[in-house]
Amino acid sequence: LEKPQPRRLTILGSTGSIGVNTLDVVNQLGGREAFEIGALTGNGNIELLAEQARTIGAKLAVTADESQYMTLKDALAGSGVDVAAGRSGLEEAASLDADWVMAAIVGTAGLGPTLTAAARGADIALANKECLVSAGQLFVEAVKAGGGRLIPVDSEHSAIFQCLDNSQRPALERIILTASGGPFRTFTREQMAGVTAATARTHPNWSMGLKISVGSASMFNKALEMVEAKHLFDVAPEQIEVVVHPQSIVHSMVGYSDGSVIAQLGAPDMRTAIGYALTYPKRPALNVDRLDFTKLSRLDFEAPDETRFPALRLARTALTRGGLQAAVMNAAEETAFNAFVEERIGFLDMADIVEAVMERLIDCGAASTIAEVFAADAEARQVAGEIIAADEKTA
């Protein structure tokens, strides 16, 4: 039985890159005439959050930053939009009666609220891949238990979701994630050693938030996406391939036992994947660039280099070890990313730190509850912090 077209929406992380694109899609599909917006949430950018909430007529606006509560309240005075802040505010946003929730907070900060939305049966449009990397099968089971659907928004996973025919599931051989290779695709390790966050964030094809941009440069984003793919599509680690495709036109592919490969192509624009998740199983009419094949000069594919980009090797390690190793990798990566942005460590140190944390916590086991996931996440952050501090001392 097909669910009715979702009309009540909540956007967790509306002020970010995915959030802004989601509101653009919502507006393209009729805006407040067509949708009822439950909650919008943000963190530091109060002005944008308030403007979004007023314009779209949200019921509730939430800033994760408690110290900004009064600023947000003032900004929305007289608008009729309710205001909340902090962790409890995010929980309130996730609990609102929206039947479609865009999970677009960055990092593990999104896990709690996304699980809350999942538990009450909302359809989860998942951009916040860290939820799945960290909590893995427990996250998938939480969505299932709630009764909602889990629809990927990450462009690669949306592509696979669009290509995967479940009636042909027994013939599924492999999924092939494409990776742009990021701004340092052709850099030597020596060149990478000196780069700053400002250069690392300049992605050749996509305009995105800071963490995922740096993650594209280090290929930790692809590492997270390998784990994301395992849980979304229930495939074995050896069925997940990565190929570098610098033009970001082929968003990912599915290979079958007859040698066929099905690909999804499109302009590098997240609104296609967001629109698909919002209207699934239908397709929306979107004002995005169309591919002109006569103008695409070429599509290149190359093998990823795991020596220059150790993140891919670490993801494979996490996948084969299983259990909480991916949660550990994810938390260590977030900690190392923060230290890199603060210029406390270099670009190449990020992978070294993640690997060291994974080795240190190799016996972390598997989780049977979300609380155990949060505990492993906290422990990995602490160990990563200690390694970073020790390195700073000796530097």
Confirm or deny that 216 is annotated as ligand binding: yes
Q: Is 15 among the residues that bind ligand NAD (CB under 6 A)?
A: yes
Query: What are the residues facing 265 on neighbouring strands?
Result: 250
Contact track, Mg ion, 104-143, x by CB under 5 A: ----------------------------------------
Q: Which two tokens stand for residue 47?
A: 């002005």
As a whole number of angstroms, the distance between CA 13 and CA 62 comes to: 10
Contact track, ligand NAD, 63-102, x by CB under 6 A: -x--------------------------------------
As a whole number of angstroms, the distance between CA 326 and CA 329 comes to: 5
Confirm or deny that 203 is annotated as ligand binding: yes
Confirm or deny that 209 is annotated as ligand binding: yes
Based on its alpha-carbon atoms, the radius of gyration of the chain, rounded to whole angstroms, reads 20
Residues 178 and 299: beta-carbon distance below 8 Å = no
Tell which one of 28, 189, 206, 355 touches ligand NAD (CB under 6 A).
Answer: 206
Contact segment (CB under 6 A) with ligand NAD among 10-18, 115-123, 163-171, 353-361 equals 10-18
- To the nearest whole angstrom, how small is the minimum distance from the Cβ of residue 4 to ligand NAD? 27
Confirm or deny that 269 is annotated as ligand binding: no
Residues 130 and 337: beta-carbon distance below 8 Å = no
- To the nearest whole angstrom, how small is the minimum distance from the Cβ of residue 155 to Mg ion? 5
Residues 79 and 37: beta-carbon distance below 8 Å = no
Q: Which two tokens stand for residue 81?
A: 């939009």
Q: Which two tokens stand for residue 76?
A: 């929305």
Residues 328 and 315: beta-carbon distance below 8 Å = no
66 vs 165, beta carbon nearer ligand NAD = 66
Q: Considering only residues 257-286, where is the footprint of ligand NAD by CB under 6 A?
A: 270
Confirm or deny that 154 is annotated as ligand binding: yes
Q: Is 56 among the residues that bind ligand NAD (CB under 6 A)?
A: no
Q: Which two tokens stand for residue 149?
A: 């659907």
Confirm or deny that 241 is annotated as ligand binding: no
Confirm or deny that 47 is annotated as ligand binding: no
Q: Is 22 among the residues that bind ligand NAD (CB under 6 A)?
A: no
- Side chain identity at residue 35, one-letter code: F
- To the nearest whole angstrom, how small is the minimum distance from the Cβ of residue 144 to ligand NAD? 21
Alpha helices by DSSP H, 29-123: 31-34, 46-56, 69-75, 86-95, 111-119
Q: Is 228 among the residues that bind Mg ion (CB under 5 A)?
A: no
Which residue, 126, 68, 52, is CA-closest to 60?
A: 52
As a whole number of angstroms, the distance between CA 144 and CA 149 comes to: 7
CA dist list (Å): 38 to 34, 61, 93: 13, 9, 8
Confirm or deny that 15 is annotated as ligand binding: yes
- To the nearest whole angstrom, how small is the minimum distance from the Cβ of residue 263 to ligand NAD? 18
Contact track, Mg ion, 139-168, x by CB under 5 A: ---------------xxx------------
How many beta carbons lie within 10 A of that of residue 87, not counting itself? 13
Asked whether the CA dihedral 137, 369, 155, 149 is positive or negative, the reply is: positive
Q: Is 154 among the residues that bind ligand NAD (CB under 6 A)?
A: yes
Which positions lie near ligand NAD, rule CB under 6 A? 13-19, 42-43, 64, 104-106, 109, 127-130, 154, 206, 208-210, 212, 270
Which positions lie near Mg ion, rule CB under 5 A? 154-156
Binding site, annotated residues: 15-18, 45, 128-130, 154-156, 180, 203, 209, 216, 221-222, 225
